Amino acid sequence: MPTGFIGTGAITEHVIVGLLEHGGFSDTIIISERSQPRSARLAMRYSNIRVEADNQAIVEQAETVFIGTLPQQTLDVLSVLSFREDQIIVSMAAMVSVEQVTEKVQPASRVHRIIPMPPNELGVGPIPIYPPSKEIEAILSSIGTVVPVDHEQHFSTFSASSAVMATFFELVAANARWIESTGVPGDQAAQYSQAVFHSLATQAMRLDAQQLQEISAKCLTAGGLNEQLLHATQRERWFDELREELGRILDRVQ
């Protein structure tokens, strides 16, 4: 049976493109008309995508239904739809619990939450799923690293942690802007900054948990350049502020 997506926002697009470009997904995908420009673009790009103006029509045809609506709209959208007992529901909406979704989609009872990220469009990046599901893991494993989560509290922690995304990109861009400000051409500055962060992330991926905690210190030499910058950020409480703000974000999402 087809797979359905209710809510065609940016995250839905990232997941669908990842599935079709990297996952070898060949089943029919039915998507909401809203957002109309995005749904039209996806339907033109892929022959196995069909657009429905009526969300109930998606529910009636799909075996697995992904929910990609805005968090503040999700429960209202679900409350007017009629689901089947045999369906699997996968919510991508932040700050909406499994219990809240389950209440709206009864008699369907197999309800899961995932946290997709834009890099999943490229076939990389983490995808936490709560509670674990072999069926959904099989669908998503081709577009990222599926992280089965047994406790919704832990899922909320992963959700809060993903808030570093924009800060990461700004750090890459800020480094490139500084390089350019010294007279280096902009394209070359961007290329260098991107390569630095890509190489460091690649190295980090090869470390175990203990090594990850130790790698920063191993980059330091007494009186060296890395020591100078790290100590400056520590004096400004960068990492204390990061930890404290992530705690406040966790309070929002759980």
Which tokens sit at 18?
């990842």
Task: Give buried/exposed letters for 42-58 (b at 16+ CB in 10 A, else e).
Answer: bbeebeebbbbeebeeb
Evaluate if residue 208 carries a pLDDT over 90: yes
Q: What does the alpha-carbon distance between residue 244 and residue 144 come to, in Å, rounded to a whole number?
A: 28
Evaluate if residue 34 carries a pLDDT over 90: no
Evaluate if residue 35 carries a pLDDT over 90: no
Helix axes 10-22, 36-45, angle to 10 degrees: 10
* Domain 3-154, architecture per CATH: 3-Layer(aba) Sandwich (3.40)
pLDDT digits (tens, 9 = 90+) for 47-66: 999 999 999 999 999 999 99
The reported pLDDT for the residue numbered 229 is: 97
pLDDT-derived band at 240, boundaries 50, 70, 90: very high
Evaluate if residue 101 carries a pLDDT over 90: yes
CATH of 164-253, one of 1.10.260, 1.10.3730, 3.40.50, 1.10.1060: 1.10.3730
Q: What does the alpha-carbon distance between residue 35 and residue 193 come to, in Å, rounded to a whole number?
A: 34
Q: What does the alpha-carbon distance between residue 93 and residue 12 come to, in Å, rounded to a whole number?
A: 10
Domain positions in the chain? 3-154, 164-253
pLDDT digits (tens, 9 = 90+) for 14-30: 999 999 999 889 999 99
Total-model pTM:
0.91
